[in-house]
Amino acid sequence: MKYKVNIKEISEGYAIWAPGLPGCWSQGKTEKEALGNIKDAIQTYLETVEELSKDKESRYVEVG
């Protein structure tokens, strides 16, 4: 899967977030570190969403 992320240089290094996943963000001292950290954050985010919705009735829709 690919997710769009936004990255911004800040005084401490780089802030990075996934605009399509509310609250999913990370940071790093370098751009490379920030990109690695957001990958971990996205994985954890998706696992948490799956866990929280595992007992809920769900449907899948195709977009596009």
Residue 64 predicted with pLDDT over 90: no
Residue 16 has a pLDDT of 98
Query: Tens digit of pLDDT for each residue in 7-44?
Result: 999 999 999 999 999 999 999 999 999 999 999 999 99
Assign 48 a pLDDT band (cuts: 50, 70, 90).
very high
Domains and CATH numbers, the chain: 6-51 (3.30.160.250)
- Residue identified by tokens 């936004």 is 6
Residue 1's pLDDT is 87
